[in-house]
């Protein structure tokens, strides 16, 4: 018997920093999208600016939510945001709760990123490093946008970085606190203004082989820049910093990018992050979402 995980409302997969919907034959959410469609879910991937602050990207998401609602006849959507996509999803839900059934944060920096703090401090305002970083990041984002067919979307590298720091997200949270825990490392409110909040994330797994690939090695190396959540982060976001709403689990043995794509090799069965999205569709279905 085929698994049926059809949800009451369409699912929107919201990408994070440097994300995109499609570049040529490559789709960022390909594995997730295909797995959800296979179990009956209606899935869309909105395209937001590859690098910009949380509110600009949130406004872009709101516009695309309205397009999905018009096109499908649905009244609400389920938002699943990866990384910075979780902040855009939170923004949309805060401003238009009547159009959002649920927000799910996957590896979202809901209390900021210590890595962003480190990188921002490394860029000296008004000096060459900041200018170089701005130009390189913006040019890369422009390149991605050209390839993806969304070249008209604005980009601002420094605004994106500042928006992901502990201070930047703290300011964001002051305005949009829905679903945030009241105690560090705890759960947040399950329901706020009719919107259901969930989250899950991982921590960098121990490297048991000489090399699991360049991406895993990069995440492992970046994890060393954390202080508050040393050994409790996925290379980009701290475990407890990711908490929002009902915390399904925040220590899956998955780095930041492994929560987005299917594992390969001997770790494929142990760390199948794609199955987490299917399980979540069933969770949304059971909650009549």
Task: State pLDDT tens for residues 194-240.
Answer: 999 999 999 998 765 544 566 677 788 888 889 999 999 998 899 99
Lowest pLDDT segment from 37-51, 123-137, 149-163, 233-247: 123-137
Q: Specify if 65 maps to a domain.
A: yes
Please say whether the beta carbons of 91 and 144 come within 8 A: no
Higher pLDDT residue, 133 or 168? Answer: 168
| pLDDT class of 27 with cuts at 50, 70, 90 | low
When pLDDT is averaged across residues 53-58 and rounded to a whole number, the result is 93
Q: Distance between CA 142 and CA 50 in Å, rounded?
A: 8
Number of domains present in the structure of the chain? 1
User: Of residues 255, 256, 273, 280, which has the active-site annotation?
Assistant: 256
Higher pLDDT residue, 22 or 109? Answer: 109
Quote the pLDDT of residue 274: 93
Q: Specify if 4 maps to a domain.
A: no
Q: Specify if 46 maps to a domain.
A: yes
Q: Specify if 6 maps to a domain.
A: no
Quote the pLDDT of residue 79: 98
Rounded percentage of the chain residues whose pLDDT exceeds 90: 58
When pLDDT is averaged across residues 269-288 and rounded to a whole number, the result is 89
**234 in catalytic set:** yes
Q: What phi and psi values does residue 78 have, to the nearest 5 degrees?
A: -100, 120
**243 in catalytic set:** no
The domain that holds 208 is classified in CATH as 3.40.50.1820
Closest CA to 19 of 62, 70, 61: 61
Quote the pLDDT of residue 54: 93
Q: Specify if 1 maps to a domain.
A: no
Q: Indicate whether 26 pLDDT > 90.
A: no
User: Of residues 49, 83, 113, 148, which has the active-site annotation?
Assistant: 83
Quote the pLDDT of residue 15: 92
| pLDDT class of 185 with cuts at 50, 70, 90 | very high
| pLDDT class of 161 with cuts at 50, 70, 90 | confident
| pLDDT class of 45 with cuts at 50, 70, 90 | very high
Q: Specify if 5 maps to a domain.
A: no
Q: Distance between CA 105 and CA 199 in Å, rounded?
A: 4
Q: Indicate whether 157 pLDDT > 80.
A: no
State which residues form the domain around 149. Answer: 11-286
Q: What is the mean pLDDT of the chain?
A: 83
Quote the pLDDT of residue 228: 93
Quote the pLDDT of residue 137: 43
**155 in catalytic set:** no
Q: Specify if 2 maps to a domain.
A: no
CA 173 to chain centre: 16
Lowest pLDDT segment from 93-102, 108-117, 212-221: 212-221
Higher pLDDT residue, 154 or 81? Answer: 81
Higher pLDDT residue, 179 or 3? Answer: 179
Quote the pLDDT of residue 51: 80
Q: Specify if 150 maps to a domain.
A: yes
User: Of residues 53, 117, 234, 255, which has the active-site annotation?
Assistant: 234
Higher pLDDT residue, 181 or 122? Answer: 181
Quote the pLDDT of residue 101: 98
Burial 174-203 (b: 16+ CB within 10 A, else e): eebebbbbeeeeebbbeebeebbbbbbbbb
Contact residues for 155 (Cβ-Cβ < 8 A; gap 6+): 49, 50, 51, 52, 138, 141, 142, 145
Q: Distance between CA 279 and CA 117 in Å, rounded?
A: 33
Q: Indicate whether 269 pLDDT > 50.
A: no
Ordered DSSP codes for the chain: -------SS-EEEE--TT--SEETTEETTHHHHHHHHHTT--EE-----SS--HHHHHHHHHHHHHHHHHHH--S-EEEEEETTHHHHHHHHHHH-GGGEEEEEEES--TT--HHHHHHHHHS-TTSHHHHHHHHHHHHHHHHHHHHHT-TTS---HHHHHHHHSHHHHHHHHHH--TT-BSSTTS-B-SEETTEEEEEEEE-PPP--SS-S-HHHHHHHHHGGG-STTTTSB-SSSBTGGG--SEEEEEEES--TTTTTS---GGGTTTT-HHHHHHHHHHHHHHTT-
């Amino acid at each position: 018997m085929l698994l049926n995980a059809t949800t009451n409302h369409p699912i929107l997969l919201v990408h994070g920093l440097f994300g995109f919907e499609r570049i040529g034959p490559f789709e960022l959410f390909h594995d997730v999208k295909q797995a959800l469609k296979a179990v009956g879910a209606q899935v869309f991937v909105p395209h937001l600016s590859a690098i910009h602050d949380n509110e600009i990207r949130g406004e872009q998401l709101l516009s695309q939510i309205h397009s999905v609602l018009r096109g499908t006849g649905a009244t609400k959507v389920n938002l699943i945001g990866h990384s910075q996509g979780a902040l855009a999803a939170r923004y949309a839900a805060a401003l238009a709760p009547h159009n959002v059934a649920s927000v799910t944060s996957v590896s979202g920096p809901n209390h900021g990123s210590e890595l962003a703090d480190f990188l921002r401090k490394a860029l000296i305002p008004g000096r060459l490093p900041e200018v170089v970083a701005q130009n390189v990041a913006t040019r890369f984002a422009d390149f991605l946008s050209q390839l993806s067919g969304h070249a008209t979307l604005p980009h601002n590298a420094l605004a994106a970085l500042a928006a992901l720091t502990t201070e930047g997200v703290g300011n964001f949270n002051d305005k949009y606190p829905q679903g945030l825990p009241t105690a560090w490392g705890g759960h947040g409110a399950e329901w706020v203004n009719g919107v259901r909040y969930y989250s899950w994330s991982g921590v960098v797994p121990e490297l048991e082989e000489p090399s699991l690939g360049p991406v895993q090695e990069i995440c492992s190396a970046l994890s060393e820049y954390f202080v508050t959540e040393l050994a409790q982060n996925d290379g980009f976001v701290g475990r407890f910093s990711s908490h929002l709403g009902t915390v399904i689990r925040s220590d899956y043995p998955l780095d930041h990018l492994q929560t987005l794509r299917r594992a390969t090799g001997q770790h494929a069965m142990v760390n199948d992050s794609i199955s987490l999205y299917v399980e979540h569709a069933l969770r949304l279905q059971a909650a009549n979402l």
